[in-house]
Amino acid sequence: MSLIKINPDKCVSCFQCARVCPVHAIRVTVGIEHPEIDDNRCIGCGTCIRACSYDAITYRSSTEYTKELLKSEQKVAAIVDPSISGEFPDITDYRKFVEMIRALGFEYVNEVSFGVDLVARAYQKHFDDFKGKYYLTANCPAIVAFVEKFHPALVDNLATIVSPMIATAMVVRRVFGQDTKIVYIGPCIATKNEAELFKDDQKVDAALTFNELRQLFDEFEIHESQLEFSEFDPPIGFKGSLYPVSNGFLQAAGINEKLLDGKIVTVDGDPHSLDAVESFENYIDHIQKHFNLFYDKGCVMGPGMTHGGDKHLRDSLVVDYANKRLKNLDLNKWHEEMAKFSDLNLTRTFKKDDQRLELPDENKVQEILKLLGKDEISEQKSCSACGFKTCNHFATAIAQGISRTDMCYDFTLKNKTNYIATLRDTNKKISDELGGLKAELKTRKEELDLVNDKMETSRYILNQIPSGVIVVDEKLKVISSNRGFIELLGEEARMIDDIIPGLRGADLKTLVPVAFYKVFQNVLSSGENILSRDVKVEESFLNLSVFSIKKNKIVGGIVRDMFSPEVRNEQIIHRVTEVIDQNLGMVQKIGFLLGEGASKTEAMLNSIIQLHQKKKEG
């Protein structure tokens, strides 16, 4: 199960977590919206959690499992890191937070300081038995993971001694029984992974951070003011209470750290502690000292502590706490206890877990540097804003697929500057073009308004023609019709005309009988005109002339009611023929223009009107 997770719902893809990750276990790759954590490369330092301003990164919680243990019938012991004094400055007496922990349901509460004393003594013996080999301390699980994963050649230089957490678990099981469940409470996130490495009497069943402990206090409404004093269960530690301060461990062991003749140096904090590992690997023959390393600036600044605390204040609180404890310490009893547990096997082993990535082809790295504008040495300023030591390291990471170009502020800034300049030029061009388009649009609108006015006038006049006029397309959809045609069809057509003026777009098949629209279909398919065809529609007797306007595309028709008073006389045939002769060319022109576009409609309609007027004069 992953130790650290990124919540994509909260992540804003600022990539700050990837920039601060000391081992680049957070990938930012092309095509991926949010950064991703590579669990295999992660050392559990928690730097990304503190760097995230959006609370999008969390670590694996142990609170629910701890509550399950406390609800069970098994004995459960809490082993508490001495840095608790730096986490709870609001609690006036350490005996109060001991009782607060008991109030959660823990049967035993022990301090890890005694385990520190045991481990410190083991280190002292280890260093006293010096045989020319220098060691790295293995108390900080983040440092241990860093060595195993990224400096596997130094695994044999890790001191083969368990951490104070594991040593304390062994003590508690010997005192209270092997079936006792152990819950560690401390400032570190990486201890959650460390706890899973051990079994039997060294097993730690759950590892809580102090932040998680605060959550449990809040959940169960446990407050200092409601409780009495309570002491830690024995055995009680001595100078192990100084362990949260980086060199406090050496003082607990009585190991000489003086500059002139000391055996060991202490290095803490990121990046100094990780740089020290590299220095040890490269220059130990010259340095010739053991290294006491902590990833954070002492355990008091661990990622499981409340964020934003002051280191110097916390160090001071730890020292004050240690002084209070030592005033009442029974040294004889402590020596007895140390002797009693001197037979504990505090050795451990480590494994090489090489997570170093294969180096890419140098030509590819140079191509990326050129893309970034960093191909010249003078351009490689190594600002480290991308999270890498040098521009070359950054280009290498891109080639390895764990980073991408926009992580470089300089490259991104140049791109943005160029992009903004391009936008400005484009906006100016668009603005100029828009001005021209507005002027053209104004002209077109004026022309359209004029055409519409003329078309409305022409339509009005056309509608005065008594003959029915209809123009349809190849699908028998009405392109245009006049009022005379609509009146011939009757009430239903008039209702449609109220909604769609001129029946434009209506299907001729739904308006007239089969015999009527078949004539139009024949002309569309053959392209030959059909003149003076009589068609009976219900009680009406119509004379229909259909002609091709655009072959196989548009046809027009003229319809006359043979029962109307103006044609119902002995000259009916002659008059119908005369009307057809006079209007045929006119309607053809109308239909063609209607089919070609509105811009020519005025000429079409005017020609119909003129022809109709000539007919009347004749």
Burial of residue 450, with CB atoms counted within 10 A of its CB: 0-12 exposed, 13-18 middle, 19 or more buried: exposed
Map out the domains of the chain as residue ranges: 1-59, 61-340, 413-458, 463-617
CB-CB contact of 480 with 594 (8 Å): yes
CA distance 158 to 471: 97
Q: What is the pLDDT of residue 571?
A: 44
Note the Cα 502 to chain centre separation in Å.
Answer: 57
61-340 to CATH, choices 3.40.50.10300, 3.90.1150.10, 1.10.540.10, 3.40.50.1780: 3.40.50.1780
Q: What is the pLDDT of residue 377?
A: 62
Burial of residue 614, with CB atoms counted within 10 A of its CB: 0-12 exposed, 13-18 middle, 19 or more buried: exposed
pTM for the model: 0.68
Q: What is the pLDDT of residue 483?
A: 84
CA distance 368 to 378: 16
The bridge status of strand 290-294 relative to strand 264-268 is parallel
What is the enclosing helix (H) or strand (E) of 72? Answer: none
CB-CB contact of 153 with 271 (8 Å): no
Q: What is the pLDDT of residue 428?
A: 78
CATH number of 463-617: 3.30.450.20
Query: Which residues, other chains included, contact 427 with Cβ-Cβ below 8 Å and sequence gap of 6+?
Result: none
Q: What is the pLDDT of residue 392?
A: 84
Provide the b/e sequence for 367-382 (b: ≥16 CB within 10 Å).
Answer: ebbeebebeeeeebee
Q: Where are the alpha helices (DSSP H) in 129-187?
A: 141-150, 164-176
CB-CB contact of 313 with 89 (8 Å): yes
Burial of residue 422, with CB atoms counted within 10 A of its CB: 0-12 exposed, 13-18 middle, 19 or more buried: exposed
Q: What is the pLDDT of residue 598?
A: 46
Q: Which of these, 8, 6, 3, lies nearest to 18 by C-alpha position?
A: 6
Residue range 1-59 forms a domain whose CATH class is alpha beta
Which DSSP string do the residues of 433-494 spell out, in sequence order? HHHHHHHHHHHHHHHHHHHHHHHHHHHHHHTT-SSEEEEEETT-BEEEE-HHHHHHH-HHHH
Query: For the chain (length 618 residues), average pLDDT per consecutive 10?
Result: 92 91 91 90 94 93 95 95 86 86 96 95 90 93 96 96 96 96 96 94 96 95 88 93 88 81 89 94 94 91 88 89 86 94 95 93 87 68 76 86 80 67 75 82 81 67 75 90 84 83 86 87 90 76 86 88 63 53 60 53 54 53
